Chains A and B, each alone.
Chain A
Amino acid sequence: MDGARQWRTRAARYSLLGAYCGRCDKPEFPPRPRCPRCGHETTEFAFSGRGTVYSYSVVRQGPDGFADQVPYVVALVALEEGPLLAAQLTDVEPGELRIGQPVEMVTRRLRDDGPQGTVLYSYKFRPPRGWQTAPSG
């Protein structure tokens, strides 16, 4: 990922900063200056970072830039404010995953763009601490 693009998307990736459409009364992630439904100009909206797993997969053949990280877990996370977002899950065993389980945002290293490149950080999601043991008591 080139520097300018990394810089441009940093607020979304580090702080889960999205957008809000006052006309539709709906938050959006990723952020965009205009609402995709009605074209109204949006304002900033900070997401809580809490959500549930809508779906997940274990990637075993990664694209260029991620091929050395396989297997890794990707998911669509349903944020508690509404929107879905695509992200990696971390600190999980694939066998323990299930749809609907709660997850929370953490900031992690996503990938290196080679020795001359930058290290890309981003949100990832993980089960909240203590979650696994709580339900069974």
Chain B
Amino acid sequence: MGGSAIIGAAELPVGEHWMKSLAELAADAVRAALRDAGLDRPDALFVGNMLSGELTAQQHLGALVADHAGLAGIEAVRVEAACASGAAALRIASAMVEAGVLDTAIVVGVEKMTDRSGPDVTAALASAADADFEVDQGLSFVALNALLMRRYMHEYGVSHAAFAPFVTNAHENALGNENAMLRFRVSAEAFGEAKMIADPVNLLDSAPICDGAAAVVVASRQRAEGRRGASRAVGIRACVSATDTVALHDRSDPLRLAAVARSAGRAFETAGIGRDDIDLLEAHDAFSIMTVLSLEASGFAPGGAGTHLGESGVIARGGSLPISTLGGLKARGHPVGATGVYQIVEAVRQLRGEAGPAQVANARLAMAQNIGGSAATVVTTILEAAD
């Protein structure tokens, strides 16, 4: 039987890790995931990271993390695709395992953002956008999302308040995740009154700046099924990457996220399942407008109707499509290059039945969607619980 599976997973608490370096954070996550897998030494290491060059003047993370994690000598390389770096690394690792090039691989996502000042981080994050014709005009990443949100509200006659359920849901779910950064409730009223960053995007529309690292161990499905602890293995049914133009202004309809549609559509095709089969979705809720646009482009709601999923309670833990079940980017935190791996680790926790108070009942199939830039790189992964 072909395919690959996740045989080990671990995440560090998201927050401000002032006493740990980027390499130490990554190494801690790598060791914890290997321990979880009962594996000593994988064949290769893939590091998902976006900003180490910009924020810590450190590149060459493959060799660096291998060294710090006690894996010196193995094949190791860093993968970068803005905020989609983590899942982009998983895509490559799982494809190489499925092709038989590697028996096992470890994927770690890591980011260190809190060593630097706000304007430095804002400028670094903007490097995911078009340097010559977006960033040089003074557009931050928040501003790009604000342009989308304003246009969306105008075109579909949707109020800012309609986005509130996505934010309150994420914070509610984070209460059940000991590794989440923002473990407090947010009311719809507080959301409406939060400080404006780039109208109409306010502070509670966006995910926090933070440090974090998470890792998963990938093996062939055959190997996963033959080993002890096979019941905790989680199958990778699909992991599909797609791209769109980096600049928003190069798209004919910016409200239609073409890379999300391509990536999700092909992931469902590859997995041979329908949208109704998904038991939970780890959405890329870096901004509440991105959540809504990605739900629509993934086919969970028609264009202009994405906020209805929030209002109707579909996205809550007991609903038919629970999202951001352990807090999402919004409340768990968004250590950008690590985020895609956090999403996978959290989906694995749900599918193993190890999500504690945040557990989604009878979770069999989970989808995680990791989005880079203004949805210029999108990786959609579909995971399945062991029998």
Contacts and interface: CB of A to CB of B under 8 A. Distances in A.
B139 A74 contact: yes
Contacts of A120: 136
A37 B121 CA distance: 33
A76 interface: yes
A57 B138 contact: no
A75 B251 CA distance: 15
A129 interface: no
A58 B150 CA distance: 11
B197 interface: yes
Contacts of B138: 59, 62-63, 65-66, 69, 72, 74, 88, 110-111
A30 B136 contact: no
A84 interface: yes
Interface stretch (B141-149, B181-189, B273-281): B141-149
A99 B151 contact: yes
Q: Classify the secondary structure of B's interface with A.
A: helix
Given A62-B138, A99-B154, A57 B199 contact: yes
Interface in B118-135: 118-120, 122-123, 126, 132-135
Contacts of A9: 132-133
Interface residues of B, number: 36
Given A64-B122, A65-B123, A58 B198 contact: yes
Interface size band for A: 35 or more
B254 to A, nearest CB: 7
Contacts of B142: 59, 61
Contacts of B245: 36
Given A57-B147, A60-B196, A61-B140, A76 B254 contact: yes
Contacts of A1: 136
A85 interface: yes
Contact of B248 (A12, A36, A62, A86): A86
A46 interface: no
B355 to A, nearest CB: 34
A55 interface: yes
Interface centre among B122, B137, B198, B248 (most CB of A within 10 A): B137
B137 A57 contact: no
B387 interface: no
Contact of B134 (A69, A83, A86): A86
Contacts of A42: none
Given A64-B122, A122-B137, A76 B147 contact: yes
B304 to A, nearest CB: 15
Contact of B139 (A5, A86, A122): A86
Contacts of B251: 84
Nearest to A26: B252
A54 B255 CA distance: 12
A63 B133 contact: no
A56 interface: yes
Nearest to A66: B138
A55 B150 CA distance: 6
B313 to A, nearest CB: 30
Given A64-B123, A76-B147, A76-B254, A59 B154 contact: no
Contacts of A56: 147, 150
A67 interface: yes
B123 A63 contact: yes
A110 B138 CA distance: 8
Interface centre among A29, A30, A60, A67 (most CB of B within 10 A): A60
Contact of A61 (B122, B133, B151, B250): B122
A74 B147 contact: yes
B201 interface: yes
A85 B154 contact: no
19 contacts: A1-B136, A29-B249, A30-B132, A30-B133, A59-B138, A60-B196, A60-B197, A61-B118, A63-B119, A63-B122, A63-B138, A74-B137, A74-B138, A84-B254, A86-B247, A86-B248, A99-B150, A111-B138, A122-B137
List the 9 shortest-distance A-B pairs measured between CB atoms, nearest first.
Answer: A57-B146, A64-B123, A55-B151, A84-B249, A63-B123, A55-B147, A63-B122, A66-B138, A64-B119
Given A63-B135, A74-B137, 16 more contacts: A59-B143, A61-B122, A63-B119, A64-B119, A66-B140, A74-B139, A74-B143, A75-B147, A76-B249, A84-B251, A84-B254, A86-B147, A86-B248, A94-B199, A99-B151, A110-B136
